[in-house]
Amino acid sequence: MQLDGVLFFPVTPFDPEGAVAESVLAEHIKHGVSAGPGAVFVACGTGEFHALEIDEFERAVAVAVEATAGRVPVFAGAGGPVGAAKKFALAAARAGADGLLLLPPYLVTNPPRGLVRYVTEVASATELPIIVYQRNNAVFTPETAVEVASLPTVIGFKDGLGDLDQLQRVVLSVRSQVNKPFQFFNGLPTAELTVPAYRGIGVDLYSSAVFCFAPDISLAFYNAVTSGDTVLTQRFLTEFFKPLVELRDQVPGYAVSLVKAAVRASGLDVGGVRPPLLDPTPEHLEQLDTIIAAGRKLLA
């Protein structure tokens, strides 16, 4: 399975009682898919995987599969303790997902060889294709990246670490030693800001949280980058993405909270975020509106 284009990471809507709002999720995904992403990644980081019970997770994946209707692949999150990760993987398969994004284990410091054990055990529980996520406490060496990339069902490696020297070593090692189709992804929060740098080391795919609330801006930036329009690319980076990242960095968790708030502002009632995340302050919401307006001005 080879992915292309902008990757859509939908939020998980909650109703006023705090339950997953399935009809709103379906509407959110249908709207996103109609804009033309390369794939849907449901119940992952932007979708508050960390806050979902397994039954909620399985329903969210099922809703995404139904709403997508086979138009693009649907990947679901899995992660946490190894036993829980296996259960989430099985739930994703039952719900009809096409693949998994394997998130890092939580809290513990993971030796690289221990990460190989972790990925191997989760992969043994499911036949679904797996994209491994390097981020926070899950950091691979080039050697261990080759080991996990060599597992039959591992098809990709998503980087949320941002160490380009380390990632370049991983990319070169895997591409020279793993003889199968394999893709690398830029998975940094607000990935667009680093797209030119990642493309410089041969990593073209990236996840776009902006696609959730402004697919027009997300796709315009993607088209500017892929067509070689460096002037427009720089304007998007300077006038939209840089201010968005600066606002995001003011409060931990805003990489999710701001996205969800922007989806609400677009007219879809997706509710707020679950603890321990916080919804943006009124002042920050005003700043967010201004940033989005600046991004839309560039569409002309």
Q: What is the CATH number of the domain that holds 147?
A: 3.20.20.70
Looking at residue 219, its amino acid is L
pLDDT of residue 88: 98
pLDDT of residue 145: 98
In the structure encoding, which two tokens stand for residue 20, read together? 């997953």
How many structural domains compose the chain?
1
In a domain, 20, yes or no: yes
In a domain, 289, yes or no: no
Looking at residue 272, its amino acid is G
- Structural contact between residues 110 and 138, judged by C-beta atoms closer than 8 angstroms: yes
Whole-angstrom Cα distance, residue 7 to residue 96?
19
Torsion angle in degrees (nearest 10) through CA of 1, 185, 82, 144: 100
pLDDT of residue 105: 87
Q: How many helices (H) and strands (E) would you count in the chain?
A: 13, 8
In a domain, 180, yes or no: yes
In the structure encoding, which two tokens stand for residue 199, read together? 């493309």
Whole-angstrom Cα distance, residue 199 to residue 192?
11
Structure confidence by residue, pLDDT tens digits, 33-46: 999 999 999 999 99
The 8-class DSSP code of residue 202 comes to T
In a domain, 299, yes or no: no
- Structural contact between residues 43 and 77, judged by C-beta atoms closer than 8 angstroms: yes
Whole-angstrom Cα distance, residue 75 to residue 100?
5
133 given a catalytic annotation: yes
In a domain, 236, yes or no: no
In a domain, 290, yes or no: no
Catalytic residue (one of 30, 106, 118, 133):
133
Whole-angstrom Cα distance, residue 146 to residue 144?
5
Full-model pTM: 0.96
In a domain, 238, yes or no: no
In a domain, 121, yes or no: yes
Residue 143 domain boundaries: 7-215
Whole-angstrom Cα distance, residue 122 to residue 127?
10
Point out the residues of the chain with pLDDT beneath 70.
none
206 given a catalytic annotation: no
Catalytic residue (one of 158, 222, 254, 260):
158
Q: Sort 159 into a burial class: Cβ within 10 Å, 0-12 / 13-18 / 19+.
A: buried
